Amino acid sequence: MRIATWNVNSITARLPRLLAWLEKSGTDVLCVQETKTTAEAFPAEALREVGYESAVNATGRWNGVALISRVGLDDVVPGLPGGPDYDGVTEPRAISATCGPVRLWSVYVPNGREVGHDHYTYKLRWFEALRAAVSDDAAGPRPFAVLGDYNVAPTDDDVWDPTVFEDSTHVTAPERDALTALRSTGLSDVVPRPLKYERPYTYWDYRQLAFPKNRGMRIDLVYGNEPFAKAVSDSYVDREERKGKGASDHAPVVVDLDV
């Protein structure tokens, strides 16, 4: 079974590439972030035509998550139970479902904007709610994983130059502590380093030739419980999908399971 996560940075803009990638990669379940569309405008029919069901949590031009599966979508839960609002709005940043033998979450963790900003506090509160919401499944016997854009680089090795990010979001101790707390529920990072690359980044800014210069960050993660981790047979970051015209600024992260 092949499972992947990909921040597509607008599913409307990326749809031709997405459909081609699904066919080429043979992915069974794709966790999508930053759909930037409403649920009504989500291209469910185009995906259905190539054999995929969709579960969507999206309300407009920002945020939005989805699960795309050709092995079933059951017990769908949109949203983060107990999650915080931001400026009185419940943002569409999480969705979970059972896909065949596994239970999966697709998450788009808040960016945080800058240290000390209200959005940074919101990010840490969001992580707290996520930890509480997944703790039972993480400790359970069924393969379970939380995939998505975490907007945190777990270590200094996960950014191209740690000095560039000093005093910035994505690398601060409270954010990394939030990842540690999430892992304490029984989850682990199932995509090891190094893979095919010395530093398998998943995100490169569009500006300043960041991708050609490999000035990236590893912020798209797959955290699985013990039954999920034991089933992993391979994993990779598909850097090729970051190349060319019309690419997202993130690359897909792919995990193969023997289940």
The per-residue pLDDT for 193 is 64
The per-residue pLDDT for 120 is 98
Q: Which residues are catalytic?
A: 108, 149, 250
Rounded CA separation 229/3 (Å):
13
**Full-model pTM:** 0.96
Q: Are 188 and 223 in contact (CB under 8 A)?
A: yes
Rounded CA separation 137/104 (Å):
10
The per-residue pLDDT for 61 is 82
- Residues belonging to the binding site for Mg(2+) are 7, 34, 149, 151, 249-250
Q: Are 113 and 119 in contact (CB under 8 A)?
A: yes
Name 13's Cβ contacts closer than 8 Å, sequence gap at least 6.
36, 246
- Residue 68 belongs to domain with CATH number: 3.60.10.10
The per-residue pLDDT for 2 is 98
The per-residue pLDDT for 192 is 73
The per-residue pLDDT for 199 is 67
Tell me which residue of 259, 126, 127, 112 sits closest to 185, measured CA to CA.
Answer: 127
- Residues belonging to the binding site are 7, 34, 149, 151, 249-250
The per-residue pLDDT for 167 is 86
In the block, residue with structure tokens 């979508």: 73
Domain housing 192: 2-257
Rounded CA separation 128/185 (Å):
12
Rounded CA separation 231/234 (Å):
9
The per-residue pLDDT for 133 is 98
Q: Total domain count for the chain? A: 1
The per-residue pLDDT for 196 is 55
| pLDDT per residue as tens, the chain (259 positions) | 999 999 999 999 999 999 999 999 999 999 999 999 999 999 999 999 999 999 999 998 889 999 999 999 999 999 999 999 999 999 999 999 999 999 999 999 999 999 999 999 999 999 999 999 999 999 999 999 999 999 999 999 999 999 999 889 999 999 999 999 999 999 999 997 655 556 689 999 999 999 999 999 999 999 999 999 999 999 999 999 999 999 999 999 999 999 9
For 34-84, where are the alpha helices, taking DSSP H only? 44-49
